[in-house]
């Protein structure tokens, strides 16, 4: 699996991690809270990844500082969330 963001047409600042053979993670560990505006950007990244490889699952890897509206929005769009401490 390719984890280079430029392969998917994304900015080189986006960090991608291979979770397993059928899922890729968007690694976004920041000190501030992830709000709905950030979630929309994450959905755009996930959509871009799925246009290149539609069979690939997309997950967000972040800290627990994420608002409930963002969690609901990501869930509706099919982006799973994994937490790191």
CATH number of the domain to which 44 belongs:
3.40.1350.10
User: For residues 6, 54, 67 and 81, what is the CA-based torsion angle, rounded to 10 degrees?
Assistant: -100
Give the total number of structural domains in the chain. 1
The β-bridge partners of 60 are: 26, 81
Provide the domain limits for residue 44.
5-83
Residue corresponding to tokens 């991608």: 16
pLDDT of 85 reads: 79
What does the pLDDT read at residue 1?
79
Interval 44-59: pLDDT, tens: 999 999 999 999 999 9
Token digits for 38?
């950030």
Mean pLDDT by 10 residues, the chain (85 residues): 93 94 94 95 97 95 95 97 92
Q: Is the pTM of this model over 0.85?
A: yes
Spatial distance between the Cα atoms of 70 and 75, rounded to a whole number of angstroms: 8
Give the separation between CA 24 and CA 17, rounded to whole angstroms. Answer: 6
Q: What is the pLDDT of residue 57?
A: 95
> In this structure, what token pair is assigned to residue 22?
């059928």
CA 48/CA 58 separation, integer angstroms: 11
């Amino acid at each position: 699996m390719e984890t280079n963001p430029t392969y998917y047409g994304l900015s080189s600042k986006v960090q991608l991690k291979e979770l397993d053979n059928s899922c890729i993670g968007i690694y976004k560990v920041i000190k501030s809270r992830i709000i709905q505006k950030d979630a929309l950007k994450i959905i755009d990244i996930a959509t871009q990844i799925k246009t290149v490889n539609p069979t690939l699952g997309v997950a967000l890897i972040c800290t627990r500082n994420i608002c409930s509206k963002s969690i609901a929005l990501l869930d509706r769009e099919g982006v799973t969330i994994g937490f790191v401490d």
